[in-house]
Structure 1
Amino acid sequence: MGDARSAITVGALNAIFNEPDTLESKFPVPVCQCVQIKTLGSTGDGVPERYRLVLSDVNHFVQSMLATQANHVVHDGKLKKGSIVRLKSYQANEVKGKKILIILDLEVIESLGECEKFGEPVPLAAKAPDAKSTSTTIAGNGFYGNKPAAPPQQSEPQQHQSLPQRSGPSSSASHSNIYPIEALSPYAHKWTIKARVTSKSDIKTWSKASSEGKLFSVNLLDESGEIKATGFNAQCDALYDVFQEGSVYYISSPCKVNLAKKQFSNINNDYELAFDKDTIVEKCEDQNDVPQVRYNFTNIGALQEVEKDSTIDVIGVLKEVNDVNQIVSKTTQQPYDKRDLTLVDDSGYSVKMTIWGKTATKFDANPEQIVAFKGAKVSDFNGKSLSLLSSGSMSIDPDIAEAYKLKGWYDSNGRSETFAAHTSTAGAAGGRNNELKTVAQVKDENLGMNDKDDYFAVKATIVYIKQDPISYPACASENCNKKVIEDNGYWTCASCNINHPKPQHRFIMTVNVSDHTGSFYLSCFDDVGRLIMGMNGDQLMELKETDNEAVNKAFEDANCKTYTFTCRAKMDTYQDQQRVRYQVLRAAPIDFKQEARKLTELIKGYNID
C-alpha cells in the first residue's frame, strides 16, 4: 500500500492544467490513481464503447476520457478502480468551463494492484490566465500538456468572415487551444483541431423533388483519432480546392459536430463535422508533427474470419491489374468505371480488390508494387473479395514498416509462391473445419450419396488436368459471372442486359487427383483454377491464341503439385445417369512446416518396443 502511495506524482494534475512549464522538469511521466471508471456505451454499428475515468494525484482529481485507441487496457482487465497508472500520452482541455483530460495512452502498473482511494482529493481549480502561457509539447516523452485557460479571443472580423481561409500558412503559436479529434463532441465550443487530410472525395451532386445540391468530404487525422468532415453547396465551392490530400490544416469552430452517419463512412468515430459558413481553415506551416494515414491492417489469410460488409484496411503485393470495365447500375442506370486488382501477402492467400471511378481510371501502379488500402468493404459473394469505398484511400509503395517487410518477403520468397483464394463455403459447409480423409475413405463411406451434401477435405496431388473446356466467357459486371454470348463484336449478358467489349474468362476445370489410396476427379471453379494455373483465365486464353508452347508449359508446371482440397460431394445427374460429383470449394498449398509438425506428433504417438 505504501509503495503505491509513494508512486503517485502528487501535484501532477495541477501542473498539467495550470503550470505546463514545470511538467518536463517535475513530472516527465505523471503517475495517478484511477478512482472511478464509467462505461458510456456504444452507438452500435461496430463503434467501440467509450470510458470516462476520474484520475487523482492525491491532492486533486479531474474528469478524464479514455481514447478508444486505449480501450484495450479495460478490455484486457488491466485497468480497474483503484489502479495506479502511468500517463504516457494525453491532452488537457477545457469544455464548457470543465477540465477534461483526454488519455491517449496509459500504462497500468499492475504490480501495485488496486488500492483504496488515497487522500481526499478535491476538484482542480482554474488558475488565472497568464498571457505568457502557451500550449506545451514534451516531445521527448511523447505526451502533451495544454493550459486550458480561456482561449485568446479572435478579433471580430477574423471570427465572422464568410468561409474564412486565412491567406498563407499559419504557425502553432497562434493556436493555443488545440483540441484532439477524440475530444470533439456537440458540447465542445471554440475549438481548433490540427489535422492531416488523409482522403478527399470527388464532388458529388444530388437531385430530389424537394432539393438539389452538391457536397464533398475529407477524412481528417491527428494523433488521437480520425473524423469525417463534409462541405455542402457554398462550403463545397469555397473549400474544395483549399483541402489537399496529405496536407495539414488548422480547422476552427464554428463548425457543426453531428452524430456520424455510419453507412456513409469508414471512420471509427461517433461524430462527424459539417463545415459552417464561418468555419476557419488555415494551412499549417509545420506539416511533420501530425501522423500520416493510420492503418489497422487485416492479413489477407485472415479474411475468411471477417464478417460480410465489414470495413478493413489491407496491404498487399499487386499481383494482377485488370483493364477498366464499365458497368451500369441497375437502380440508377448510371455507368460506373471499375478495375479489378489481385493482391497477395505472406499468408499464402490472394484476394480480389475492386476500385472505382477516377481511382480506377487513373490507377498507374505496376505488378509487384506494394499497395495499401484504407476503408475496403468485405464481400463474401463466391468467396471473400474487397471493394474500396468512396471514403477510402489508396497508397502505392507507402513509407511504412509493413510495406518494407512485405517487399522483402516477396523479393526473397513470395515471387515464386502460389496463392490460395478464399472461395465460398456456402450451404451446409458453414465454414466449418472439414475432416481430412483419404480418397479411399471418401469412396468407401459413400460420401455424396445421402439426401444432403457431404463435406470433406483431402490432401492429394494433381496427376491430370482436362484442357477442354478449361474456362468460359463470363460477364464482367461485379458479382455476376454469368456466361455471355458474342453478338456483332460485343459480349451480351442476358442476366445484366449489358454489352461488354470483351468477356472475362473464368476457369471451369476438371482435374484428376491422387493420394496413396486411389484417385478421383474434382471439379474446380475460378479461384481454385487461378491457384492451380498461376494465372487468370484471360491470361491463359491469350496464351492459347499466341503461344502454344507457353500453354503446354503452363499445364506441365501446374501438374504434379499437392494441395489440400476442401470439397463438397453431391449426387448429380449426367446423361440420364446419376453419379457423385466432387466440387472443390477451396484449395491451399501444403504448409510443409505444419505437415512436419503433424508427422512429428504422429511419430511420438506410436509406442515402439
Structure 2
Amino acid sequence: MATQLTTGICSRLNSSENDDDELFNSQPTVQFLSFKRVPPSGGGSNMDRYRVIVSDGEHFLQSMLATQLNHLVEEEQILKHSIAVIEKFTCNLVQGKKLLIILALRVVQKEAEKIGNPVGIQARAGGSIETQASPSAAVTPAPAASAKPAASTAPAQSSRQPTQGNRGGRTAIYPIESLSPYQNHWTIKARVIAKSEIRTWSNQRGEGKLFNITLMDESGEIRATGFNATVDELYDRIQEGKVYFISKAKVNLAKKKFSNIPNEYELALERNTEIEECPDAADVPMVKFNFTPIANLQEIAKDAVCDIVGVVKEVGELSSITSKATNKQIPKKELTVVDASGFSVKVTLWGKQAEQYNETDNPVIAFKGAKVGDFQGRSLSMMSSSSLIINPDIPEAHHLRGWYDAAGAEQTYQSHTNTMSSGGGVSFDRAEIRSLNDVKISELGMSDKVDTFSSRATIMHIKGDNIAYPACPSQGCNKKVVLMGDSWRCENCDKSYPQPEHRYIVPMAVADYSGQAWFQGFNDVGLIVFGMPANDLERDDTEFNRVLEGTIGTTYNFACRAKQDNYNDQARVRYGISRILPLDYREEATYLANLLRRSEWSN
C-alpha cells in the first residue's frame, strides 16, 4: 500500500496562526521534491544550510532543514521524492512568504515515486490562495490522503511561528534555531550551559561592565550578553545549568570576534528582558558535545574551539597572571587531562573556575568550547563561553571511567609538547613520517609553494666550514656583525658591541633506509646537535673535529620545509629543518604499546 501524504498541510501551514496547537503538533507526512545547498551567507555562520521543497500531493511549500539535520542529506538518508513524517517544525515569514523550518523528521519511505502534480501557494492580501506551476513536470496520480481537512485560509502572520501553541497564557515557545532580527515577539525555553564572570572595562569613552551566557535548546545554541544596569538586574537571577523562559531580548548579528558559538545571531539582554525559571526542564537537553580525541588535537587549527572528555590525571597549583589590559591578577590552574587515545593535554582554567576547582580522585570531565593553543605544543584554554561538567552521565564518560580504573591509571602518556613546532607552524607528526626517497620522488618543494614533511634520519656528515657566523647580541636581531677596529658593528641596530654572539649554520647529510639528503638547520638545530652554544665550541682543530665526529650516527626526528630555489641558474630543492627532536626510546615504546591498547578498547 502506497504511503499517504497529509492532504492540505501546505495550505494550512501557509495560513497558520500563532496559537494553532493542533497544527503544530500534527506531525504531517510530506514528500521531498528537491534539495538545494545554501552556502554560508557571511553573517557569522560557517555552516551550509539545505533548502527543501516539500509537497502534500496538492501543493508544495518552501522549507529549510535545521542544521542538525544536514547529515541526512549529506549521508543520503533522504533523497528526492523521499517521504517523511515531520515530527517537529516551525514557520518563518521571509520576504512575505511562509518558510517551513524542519527541526526533526522520521523517514518512512526513502525511495518513492512522485505523488501528484503539486503547485505552489502564494497568499494574497485578502486571504485567498493563488497557485503557481509545479517545479517538476512529472505527473503521478495522487492517492487518497490521510490528512485532517484543510483549515480556512488567513493572511500570513508577521512573525515566525512556534513549535507549540500557548501554555497557560504564555507566549508560544520558539526554537533558538528560528530567531532572527526580523521578529519582535518571541519566547525561547533554553538551558544556561555557560555563564561568565562579570567583566569590567575602562577606556576613553567611559567605564562599564558586562556578562554573557550561552543558551541551548534542542535546535541549537545562542550567546546572550548583558551590559551595565542589566548586569545588576539579571546576573544573580541566572544560574548555570537551569532552564528559563526568556523573552524581550534584542536579536543582533553575532560578533564572531568575541564568540565561537555556531549561530549567526546573538541576544542582547536589556532591562526589560523577561527571564523566568522553568520547572519543567525534561525536554531541554543538558549539553550537546562533539568530542575530539586528545590524540587528534594537532589536527585542529590554533584558536579553534573543540570539545574533549578525559580523566584529570594531574592538577597544578593555583597561580595567577597579570592582565596587560587591566593590570589585575587573574587566577589560573592547569589540569593534565588524558584519554584512551594515549595522549595528554594541559587544560587551563581561569578566574573563579580556577579558584573553585578542588576535585580529587581523578574525575572524568567533559569540556565544551575549549580554545586550542600551541604554546609548547597543543594546549587548551577555557574561555567565558566554555563550560565543563564533572563526571557527566554520558556513555563516553562511563567508558573512560572503566578504562582508567582498569588500565589507564598505570599508563604513561604522550603529550603534544614534543610533537609540535614553535617555528612557522611546521610540526613533527610521528604517524606521518616519510622516507627520504619518498620525499624526492614525490617532488616535494618543486611547486611554487612550500611543502612540509616529517622524517626520521641519521646524521652521516656535517660540513665543518663556516659552521657559525658572528651575530648581533641584541635580543631578536641575529644579523651578522662586522669587526671594525676593536668592536663589532651591527648595521641593523646601528650599534657596536665588544663581542659578537656566534650562531650556528648547520648543513648536514642525513640518511635513512631509503636514501640520503642534505638538510640545513640554524642555531636551534646546532644547539641540540652539538649540545653547546656556538661561542663555546672549541676552535682547536682536534677538539672541533672530535665534537663533529661525535654527532655522526645520531638519529633524530625532523620537521622540514621543502622549497625550490636557483643556484648557478639551476633549480634545486632545499630542505630546511624547522624542528629537530632527539629520539626518545621510552616514548617510542609507549607509543607502540598505546596503539595496541587503543585497538583493544576500540573493539
> TM-score of the superposition, structure 1-length normalised?
0.63
In structure 2, the residue matched to 1:11 is: 8
Which letter maps to 1:373? F
Shift of 1:177: 1.8
Q: 2:397 aligns with which of 398, 403, 406?
A: 403
Shift of 1:398: 1.3
Shift of 1:448: 6.7
In structure 1, the residue matched to 2:70 is: 71
- Note if 1:103 corresponds to 2:97: no
Which whole-Å CA distance do the structure 2 matches of 1:429 and 1:216 have between them? 38
Q: CA distance change for structure 1 residues 23 and 288 in 2, over 3 Å: closer, same or farther?
A: closer
Where does 1:165-244 land on structure 2 (aligned, <5 Å)?
A: 172-244=167-239
Which whole-Å CA distance do the structure 2 matches of 1:386 and 1:184 have between them? 31
Shift of 1:148: 11
Q: 2:354 aligns with which of 352, 355, 360?
A: 360
Shift of 1:87: 4.0
- Note if 1:283 corresponds to 2:277: yes
Shift of 1:88: 4.9
Residue aligned with 1:41, SS: coil
Q: CA distance change for structure 1 residues 305 and 36 in 2, over 3 Å: closer, same or farther?
A: closer
Which whole-Å CA distance do the structure 2 matches of 1:429 and 1:236 have between them? 44
In structure 2, the residue matched to 1:572 is: 530
In structure 1, the residue matched to 2:407 is: 413
Shift of 1:450: 5.8
In structure 2, the residue matched to 1:377 is: 371
In structure 1, the residue matched to 2:384 is: 390
Residue aligned with 1:338, SS: strand
Residue pair 1:42, 1:48 contacting (<8 A) in 2 also: no
In structure 1, the residue matched to 2:466 is: none
Q: CA distance change for structure 1 residues 595 and 373 in 2, over 3 Å: closer, same or farther?
A: closer
Which whole-Å CA distance do the structure 2 matches of 1:568 and 1:126 have between them? 80
In structure 2, the residue matched to 1:527 is: none
Shift of 1:593: 9.1
Residue aligned with 1:102, SS: strand
In structure 2, the residue matched to 1:512 is: none
Residue pair 1:424, 1:585 contacting (<8 A) in 2 also: no
Which letter maps to 2:183? A
Residue pair 2:221, 2:263 contacting (<8 A) in 1 also: yes
Shift of 1:105: 3.3
Shift of 1:220: 0.7
Q: Unpaired segments of 5 or more residues in structure 1?
A: 129-146, 154-170, 438-443, 452-566, 599-609
- Note if 1:252 corresponds to 2:250: no
Which whole-Å CA distance do the structure 1 matches of 2:154 and 2:366 have between them? 38
Shift of 1:66: 1.8
- Note if 1:325 corresponds to 2:319: yes
Superposition CA RMSD, Å: 4.0
Q: CA distance change for structure 1 residues 317 and 183 in 2, over 3 Å: closer, same or farther?
A: same
Deviations 1:536-584 (A, max 9, x none): xxxxxxxxxxxxxxxxxxxxxxxxxxxxxxx999743645323436434
Q: CA distance change for structure 1 residues 330 and 112 in 2, over 3 Å: closer, same or farther?
A: same
In structure 1, the residue matched to 2:89 is: 91
- Note if 1:447 corresponds to 2:459: yes
Shift of 1:104: 2.1
Q: 1:348 aligns with which of 314, 329, 342?
A: 342
Shift of 1:209: 0.7
Question: Percent of counterpart pairs with the same letter?
Answer: 41
- Note if 1:308 corresponds to 2:302: yes
Residue pair 1:95, 1:187 contacting (<8 A) in 2 also: no
Count of aligned positions? 436
Which whole-Å CA distance do the structure 2 matches of 1:337 and 1:396 have between them? 20
In structure 1, the residue matched to 2:56 is: 57
Shift of 1:337: 0.9
In structure 1, the residue matched to 2:267 is: 273
Shift of 1:268: 1.0
Residue pair 1:40, 1:52 contacting (<8 A) in 2 also: no
Q: CA distance change for structure 1 residues 335 and 52 in 2, over 3 Å: closer, same or farther?
A: same
Deviations 1:121-144 (A, max 9, x none): 43479999xxxxxxxxxxxxxxxx
Q: CA distance change for structure 1 residues 47 and 22 in 2, over 3 Å: closer, same or farther?
A: closer
Residue pair 1:448, 1:571 contacting (<8 A) in 2 also: no
Residue aligned with 1:174, SS: coil
Residue aligned with 1:304, SS: helix
In structure 2, the residue matched to 1:537 is: none
Residue aligned with 2:377, SS: coil
Residue aligned with 1:371, SS: strand
Which letter maps to 2:459? L
Which whole-Å CA distance do the structure 1 matches of 2:284 and 2:459 have between them? 60
Shift of 1:95: 3.7
Which whole-Å CA distance do the structure 1 matches of 2:43 and 2:37 have between them? 18
Residue pair 2:30, 2:55 contacting (<8 A) in 1 also: no
Residue aligned with 2:432, SS: coil
In structure 2, the residue matched to 1:552 is: none
Which whole-Å CA distance do the structure 2 matches of 1:63 and 1:122 have between them? 9
Shift of 1:295: 1.4
In structure 2, the residue matched to 1:556 is: none
In structure 2, the residue matched to 1:524 is: none
Which whole-Å CA distance do the structure 1 matches of 2:457 and 2:386 have between them? 50
Q: CA distance change for structure 1 residues 450 and 86 in 2, over 3 Å: closer, same or farther?
A: farther
- Note if 1:295 corresponds to 2:308: no
Q: CA distance change for structure 1 residues 241 and 151 in 2, over 3 Å: closer, same or farther?
A: farther
Residue pair 2:11, 2:121 contacting (<8 A) in 1 also: no
Residue aligned with 2:252, SS: strand
Moved more, 356-365 or 366-375: 366-375
Which letter maps to 1:71? N
Residue aligned with 1:267, SS: coil
Which letter maps to 2:332? K
Shift of 1:413: 2.2
Deviations 1:97-123 (A, max 9, x none): 753322223466785168598432434
Q: CA distance change for structure 1 residues 89 and 345 in 2, over 3 Å: closer, same or farther?
A: farther
Which letter maps to 1:396? I
Q: Unpaired segments of 5 or more residues in structure 2?
A: 128-152, 160-165, 437-455, 464-524, 539-546, 557-580
Residue aligned with 2:384, SS: strand
In structure 1, the residue matched to 2:142 is: none
Deviations 1:193-237 (A, max 9, x none): 111111111111111111221111111111100101111112111
